[in-house]
């Protein structure tokens, strides 16, 4: 029997994740099944289980894909003159790719209040995003973009609050341009304030 080469296996996983994203967006987390994902790809359900042991593991793979996208955006934004504005501009564009999942995210949050294992999965994702954001803020501080006394831990959480708020307002039908403008203004005020405070403290 020929061996499955790593490259092929990774491509297969990617195709499954992309199909699952569409299925979850259309049916919701609870209604969607592994069989639905298999049907979307035209393969057997058993084939899906070769790569993912459960629907929850498959959804986790979708979340991980989004986390890698965010890390890439931060890496791109760090060199710009206005890193936070650049990040939110890029992040808003990436969000639009995952926009069909917005309703699913709200559904999972509601379910997490009753399901401890799901709550842990979502919290783990939040903590990873926060850790990534903290590294980004540390890099900005080293470049003098934010004040040396800025509470990196708290600010990283506030940024995630703002981005989650962006996602929810888009779900409610607020125009992309309006939501982006509001987020950009919030970041401008917050970071301008931290930088100014830091400059005053050194006078």
Q: What percent of the chain has pLDDT above 70?
A: 84
Q: By mean pLDDT, which of 96-110, 152-166, 173-187 is the weakest?
A: 96-110
**Mean per-residue pLDDT, 72-77:** 74
pLDDT of residue 22: 86
Q: By mean pLDDT, which of 31-35, 88-92, 137-141, 152-156 is the weakest?
A: 88-92
Domains of the chain: 1-53 (1.10.10.60), 55-201 (1.10.357.10)
d(CA 42, CA 97): 24
d(CA 40, CA 60): 19
The whole-chain average pLDDT of the chain stands at: 80
The model's pTM is 0.72
pLDDT of residue 39: 95
**Mean per-residue pLDDT, 152-176:** 86
d(CA 101, CA 99): 5
d(CA 102, CA 20): 15
* 202 confidence band (pLDDT: 50, 70, 90): very low
Q: CB within 8 A of 118, min separation 6: which ones? A: 56, 108, 111, 112
d(CA 48, CA 16): 7
* 185 confidence band (pLDDT: 50, 70, 90): confident
* 45 confidence band (pLDDT: 50, 70, 90): very high
Residue 140 in contact with residue 146, Cβ under 8 Å? yes
């Amino acid at each position: 029997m020929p061996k499955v080469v790593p490259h092929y296996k990774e491509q297969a996983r990617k195709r499954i994740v992309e199909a699952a994203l569409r299925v979850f967006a259309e049916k919701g987390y609870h209604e969607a099944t592994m069989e639905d994902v298999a049907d979307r790809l035209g393969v057997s359900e058993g084939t899906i289980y070769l790569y993912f042991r459960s629907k929850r593991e498959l959804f986790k793979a979708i979340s991980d894909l989004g986390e890698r996208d965010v890390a890439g955006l931060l890496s791109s934004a760090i060199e710009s003159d206005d890193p936070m504005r650049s990040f939110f501009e890029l992040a808003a564009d990436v969000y639009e790719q995952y926009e069909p999942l917005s309703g699913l995210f709200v559904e999972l949050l509601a379910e997490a209040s009753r399901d401890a294992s799901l709550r842990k999965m979502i919290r783990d994702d939040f903590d990873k995003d926060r850790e990534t954001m903290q590294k980004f803020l540390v890099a900005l501080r080293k470049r003098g973009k934010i004040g040396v006394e800025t509470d990196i831990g708290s600010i990283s959480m506030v940024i995630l609050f703002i981005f989650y708020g962006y996602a929810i307002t888009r779900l409610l039908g607020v125009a992309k341009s309006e939501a982006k403008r509001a987020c950009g203004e919030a970041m401008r005020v917050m970071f301008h304030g931290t930088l100014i405070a830091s400059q005053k403290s050194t006078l």
